[in-house]
Amino acid sequence: MTRPIIEVDNVSKRYRLGQFNARTLREEAERLFRRRRSNGKAGGSPGDHESEFWALKEVSFSVQQGEVIGIIGRNGAGKSTLLKILSRVTEPTSGLIRIRGRVASLLEVGTGFHPELTGRENIYLNGAILGMNRAEIKSKFDEIVAFAEVEKFLDTPVKRYSSGMYVRLAFAVAAHLEPDILIVDEVLAVGDAEFQKKCLGKMRAVASGLGRTVVFVSHNLQAVSTLCERVFLLEQGKLANAGPADDVLRSYITGLQPGVEDFRVTTPLLRWRGLQNRRSLDDLRCDQDLMLELGFETGQESISNLHVDIELVDERDRTALHCKSKFVREPMSIPSNTNFAVRYLLHSPHLAPGPYRLTVYAAAGTKELCWVEQIDACRVSAASPFFPDDVLQDVKGTTVPGFSVDLVPSTSSEYVEVS
């Protein structure tokens, strides 16, 4: 039997919350002094353990050449951390990773692109990073451009591309330059439904026709079921289940508990106050605008550079839409001790009929502040004659074509004006 192309052996990854890896010599000396002084004391140093977060805990599995595997789990389960380790973006705290072959990763929009270079130049740059020579890249160039559908903007600097154009070109380069292992994160959620279908077809062709290995992370369980042979389920950094795709997905869906709020706050700066206008969302027509008013409360410190992301999933845990506030407005600044709401207005999202649950993620820059999952959000009915049920059932949600984000006073209790 041939050796696995990917071996993950007892891998763990630890992060120190609120700290950077790089410290001054003085800061490092002070930290070591405090740790030594705490040795032998009951409970140890209060700061050392409270600031540690284990994103992965003793994860082990192997993947054979030509396999298409899926990695699923809730937000914060450790999926993206695992992909970063597989892609050599970061190193594990303990354990070993063995990879036999050339890896191409698509972890976030524009990974590996130079914003000042044109689309044409970035194709050659990414190809060189993947180890291809100029002749090999040139032989695939026309296929890449046709797949990405950016012919008109090929000689435009990519810093002027939309997020959709970015991800189309990035995926086209990664998939067409024939790596041994293709790693794809949830980044495809920024593409439209047609492009997602196109990408899934390409990944299937890469795996079946060329014998390449694909590692696919997604919240879209239907896509995982269609594409993947085996699935790994991560829960709180641990490998909770692994096996044939249908078996693991069925177990995961059965274990979900709609309506149960499961949230964690990594800092005391921001507290979740709930979906403020929940009662008005019980009976929405599919052709109506959708407004979500998200309530928060700051702590003893003000917050700057705040952004809030949302995701709606249907009753089968498929992503219906995914929106990021940073796409449509400047970061928000909030005073301390303030009740406020972030209001999302989604313009005619045309959701398929049925119930939807909401996930909310808030951060200040790259610092996570609040994460809330599995909130009963709304129920959509097909009340419009222009969007009958049989048409709407085929809608696979993506980024909403138009939405706005406003900062408003909280409507649930007393509030302070914010700017």
Helix axes 163-176, 119-129, angle to 10 degrees: 40
User: Domain residues of the chain, as ranges?
Assistant: 6-36+46-255, 262-409
Query: Half-sphere exposure of 96 toward its Cβ, with a 13 Å CA cutoff?
Result: 5
Overall fold of domain 6-36+46-255: Rossmann fold (3.40.50)
For residue 358, the model assigns a pLDDT of 86
Distance CA(100)–CA(7), nearest Å, equals: 9
Contact 377, 356 (CB under 8 A): yes
For residue 233, the model assigns a pLDDT of 93
For residue 42, the model assigns a pLDDT of 43
For residue 47, the model assigns a pLDDT of 47
Residues 6+ apart with CB under 8 A from 389: 353, 382
Class of 262-409 per CATH?
Answer: mainly beta
Task: Report the chain (419 residues): mean pLDDT per 10 consecutive residues.
Answer: 87 74 59 61 46 86 91 84 88 92 73 84 84 85 88 89 80 80 71 70 74 83 81 92 87 60 58 79 78 87 89 79 80 88 84 84 80 78 48 37 70 43
Residues 6+ apart with CB under 8 A from 39: none
The count of residues in the chain is 419
The beta strand positions in 129-226, using DSSP E, are 181-184, 213-217
Q: Measured between alpha carbons, how far apart are the two ends of the chain, in Å?
A: 64
Tokens of 74: 């809730």
Nearest to residue 368, comparing CAs of 315, 416, 308, 324?
Answer: 308
Is the whole-model pTM more than 0.85? Answer: no
For residue 63, the model assigns a pLDDT of 93
Distance CA(201)–CA(269), nearest Å, equals: 44
Q: Which amino acid is at 417?
A: E
Q: How many CB atoms lie within 10 A of CB 231?
A: 24
Backbone φ and ψ of 141, nearest 5° = -60, -50
Greatest alpha-carbon span in the chain: 73
DSSP letter at 331?
P
For the residues of 65-115, what is the DSSP string, one character each?
Answer: TT-EEEEE--TTSSHHHHHHHHTTSS--SEEEEEE-S-EEEE-STTTT--T
DSSP letter at 4?
P
Q: Which amino acid is at 304?
A: S
Sheet containing strand 68-72, edge to edge, reads 103-106, 181-184, 213-217, 68-72, 230-235, 238-244
Distance CA(149)–CA(172), nearest Å, equals: 10
